[in-house]
Amino acid sequence: MNKLLIKGGRVIDPSQHIDKVTDLLIEDGRVKAIGNDLAADDAEVFDAGGLVVAPGFIDLHVHLREPGQEYKETIATGAAAAVAGGFTAICAMPNTRPVNDNASLTRYMVSKAQEAGLARVYPIGAITRGSEGTELAEMADLKAAGAIAVSDDGRPVMNSQVMRHAMEYARDHGLVVVDHCQDTQLSAGGVMNEGRISTLLGLKGISRAAEESHIARDIMLCELTGARVHIAHLSTAGAIELVRRAKARGLPVTCEITPHHFALTDAAVVGFDTNTKMNPPLRTEEDRMALIEAARDGLVDAIATDHAPHHEDEKMLEYDQAPFGVIGLETALGVALTVLHHTNGVALPRVVEMLTAGPARAFDLAGGTLAVGAAADVTIFDPEREWTVEPQQFKSKSHNTPFGGWRLRGQVVTTFVAGSEVFRVQ
Amino acid sequence: MAFNRKDLLGIRELSVEEITTILDTATSFKEINERPIKKVPTLRGKTVINFFFESSTRTRTSFEIAAKRLSADSINISASTSSVTKGETLADTARNLQAMAPDAIVIRHPSPGVPYQLARLIDASIINGGDGAHEHPTQALLDAFTIREQKGRISGLRVAIIGDIRHSRVARSNTHLLTKLGAQVRIAGPRPLIPPDYESIVEDSSDALLVCNRIEAAIEGADVVMMLRIQRERMSEAFFPSLKEYSIQYGLTLKRLELAAKDAIVMHPGPMNRGVEISSDVADGNRSLILEQVHNGVAVRMAILFLLIGAEGE
């Protein structure tokens, strides 16, 4: 019998409202017990003194690029980056080449993830065929093959009638609809937040209205259809307010925020570093603080990375020509702890909740808990350890991060998936 | 004061002292352009590359003449497309330019920020010859030179800048420069052509920069009226209803010019759309300094080349 005893760590498991220094016993890949002074004669012992023991993190929003763009990332390298960042489960967006809009592709992704044997990979299927926004993808078939949600992320579904029918159909099949909310006519040609900085730099802006009007539409369609809707990567104070009102009315709306949006503002674009180009764009300090406040007060369900690997050559272009997106799996915890917890006083259990129980609830995923009997996906981190971000050391194939050289406080120490150690910091 | 920069990328980064140094240096170089033999050996042995990704006869020729009058070797390279459409990265472009061992590179590019990106990768001095809708520092400097020459000062002047502000690098650079030197800048044009939060782009926003709803409000009492080109190529984007309506609402006519100060001067960075943003009788009238701007451009660019690559040991 395979046993692991994690002793003396600060166990934070928001799913069970646990926050105390205690022991965790894992047996045959599952949580066997949580309690003081646990003993198991034949168990391997991990001394977690001074460390936080949490459920394995879940990332609702990553781009793994396989199939089609393996030079940027593969399922295996993405999964390696995930566990290095403490993520034991990641949800893979369907904008691969070809788009994951069919069961065979979903099964391929699942099998590649199993081969890698690192993080659990949950494919997200497309809402529409080819993510072209016109015909619905075969959602039931996608679900049967392993898809856990549907999204046309990166290509917002602009046709409201198509979106309505997608929500109606997804509801029947128990799938969450994840939307990248952006009116692409309002945002056409935009490469950064519209405002003072875009005017200074002469770069075309993306207004807040482009995001907020689309969120408002989705909330109305959510009310109309009763579907579960997850709003990806909120970036504005107005977007937060819209979700707040929807939740207050009891609508089944969930949301995520990303570390780059709560750590940075559009001021970072001055200097034209293309690692500050993402979609939605970095917004203003007012927006950033609204995200932090929403993280603190419980509105936000999940911290998601929107991990978007791009090859160095692709980012080494003119700012307006470079692709959108930054990676984030390996910096998420450090940025979240540094910005939310250490700098802005967001409670540690709340940060852990947005990385574990919150995302699990949003997509009805197993995991995000250390409940007895649950799979022993465990992330152990040091909330105080300081480290410097060195992108060239990442497990990810790509290095397009805006956090290179940042000094962060908080680092993953070791990650277990089903009781097996899949990562340990050097 | 010494001018210690490697590059000239934008007006926004420059101090008042640096701007004044450039303008003062240009004054001494203007005299060379009046001589029968318009050539001095100051930059002999230096190489200047004019690397233009957009067509521009005026700016490119001005830089070429400036370099030649200082005895530098001047080479023109033009590219009709950006690096990405050629399958090349900016780093590749930079490496190729570096391999030619130039002393200065004047770059014009349709994408904002390219001079800044290249300046980090290349040892040679980079001069921004216009980057998208971002900055056109040498144009602003020659405009300021022309204003100072005519008015004897810039501080306290009221300068109206009218037209397509959204797409204008000239408007941005002039706004920075003129407000830094103490002028009041008034902006006017159709609202869709005024970029968001324009009022906030200068540090001192008290009343140094005003955005006016109507052209008349901008021109009223102005000492300088600077008209910008309407970019016909963007007409399909529905920024305003028609050229006819634009010329009626925002065109500079002799009648509108009467609203300005009695000794007001008229400027335009060119090329002009006669009859659209400016009537011919204004463009060719006795208040127009449009050709003087072109003339002064050579002296200002000579000064910039000298300060960046020729002033060692001075």
Residue A65 and residue A325 in contact, taking contact as beta carbons nearer than 8 Å: no
Which one of B116, B117, B196 has the shortest CB-CB distance to A194?
B196
> Closest approach of chain A CAs to the CA of B271, in angstroms?
20
pLDDT of residue A61: 98
Which one of A194, A196, A316 has the shortest CB-CB distance to B201?
A196
Residues in chain B with CB shorter than 8 Å from the CB of A313 are 89, 91
Q: How far apart are CA A153 and CA A139, in angstroms?
A: 15
Q: How far apart are CA B160 and CA B227, in angstroms?
A: 8
Residue A198 and residue A266 in contact, taking contact as beta carbons nearer than 8 Å: yes
Beta bridge partners of A20: A11
| Mean predicted lDDT score pLDDT of chain B | 93
Residues in chain A with CB shorter than 8 Å from the CB of B86 are none
Question: Which entry of A306, A313, A364, A377 is annotated as an active-site residue?
Answer: A306
> Measured between alpha carbons, how far is residue B82 from residues A191, A317, B110, B112, B136 in Å?
17, 9, 8, 12, 18
> Closest approach of chain A CAs to the CA of B278, in angstroms?
25
What's the average model confidence in pLDDT over A380-386? Answer: 98
Look at chain B and count its residues: 314
What's the average model confidence in pLDDT over A231-240? Answer: 98
Question: What's the token pair of residue B217?
Answer: 């409000």
Q: How far apart are CA A299 and CA A278, in angstroms?
A: 23
pLDDT of residue B92: 87
Q: How far apart are CA A294 and CA A321, in angstroms?
A: 33
Q: How far apart are CA A343 and CA A347, in angstroms?
A: 11
β-strands A253-257, A302-303: how paired? parallel
For chain A, the residues whose C-beta falls within 8 A of a C-beta of chain B are 194-196, 198-203, 205, 207, 271-272, 313, 316-321
pLDDT of residue B235: 63
Q: How far apart are CA B82 and CA B65, in angstroms?
A: 26
Candidate from A245-254, A309-318, A376-385, B134-143 with smallest mean pLDDT:
A309-318
Q: Is A53 helix (H, G, I), strand (E, B) or coil?
A: strand
Question: Which entry of B30, B136, B148, B180 is annotated as an active-site residue?
Answer: B136
**Interface predicted TM-score (ipTM) of this complex, two decimals:** 0.93
Q: Identify whether B138 is a catalytic site residue.
A: no
pLDDT of residue B95: 86
DSSP A252-277: -EEEEE-HHHHH--GGGGTT--GGG-
β-strands A205-206, A192-193: how paired? parallel
Which one of B82, B197, B201 has the shortest CB-CB distance to A318?
B82
Query: Helical H runs in chain B?
Result: 16-34, 57-69, 90-99, 114-119, 137-151, 169-180, 215-219, 243-250, 254-257, 280-283, 290-305
DSSP A11-22: EEEGGGTEEEEE
B197 and A195 in contact by Cβ < 8 A?
Answer: yes
Residues in chain A with CB shorter than 8 Å from the CB of B114 are 272, 318
pLDDT of B314 strictly over 60: no
Identity of the residue numbered B207: D
Question: Which entry of B5, B6, B12, B58 is annotated as an active-site residue?
Answer: B58
pLDDT of residue B97: 87
- Residue in A272, A274, A313, A400 to test binding to B, most B beta-carbons within 10 Å: A272
> What element of type H or E holds A46?
strand A44-47
pLDDT of residue A166: 98
What's the average model confidence in pLDDT over B97-110? Answer: 94
What's the average model confidence in pLDDT over A135-152? Answer: 98
Q: Which residues contact B135 (CB under 8 A, 6 or more apart)?
A: A202, B9, B10, B11, B12, B128, B169, B172, B173, B176
pLDDT of residue B79: 81
Give which of B313, B314, B307 is closest to B104, Cα–Cα: B307
Q: How many CB pairs under 8 A join A and B?
A: 73
Nearest chain A residue to B84 by CA: give it.
A317
Question: What's the token pair of residue B273?
Answer: 């759309």
What's the average model confidence in pLDDT over B217-231? Answer: 96
Candidate from A266-275, A377-386, B304-313 with smallest mean pLDDT:
B304-313
Q: Identify whether A306 is a catalytic site residue.
A: yes
Residues in chain B with CB shorter than 8 Å from the CB of A198 are 195-196
Say what the pTM is.
0.95
Under DSSP, the state recorded for B223 is S
Q: Is A48 helix (H, G, I), strand (E, B) or coil?
A: coil
Give per-residue pLDDT as tens, A272-326.
999 999 999 999 999 999 999 999 999 999 999 999 999 999 999 999 999 999 9
Give A206's pLDDT tier (boundaries 50, 70, 90).
very high
DSSP B256-288: HHTTS-TT-EEE--S---BTTTB-HHHHTSTTB
pLDDT of residue B234: 65
What's the average model confidence in pLDDT over A19-28? Answer: 98
pLDDT of B185 strictly over 60: yes
Beta strands across the sheet bearing A229-231? A149-151, A176-179, A229-231, A253-257, A302-303
Name the phi and psi angles at A350, rounded to 5.
Answer: -70, -40
Residues in chain A with CB shorter than 8 Å from the CB of B169 are 202
- Residue in B84, B121, B170, B194 to test binding to A, most A beta-carbons within 10 Å: B84
What's the average model confidence in pLDDT over B169-179? Answer: 98
pLDDT of residue B192: 94
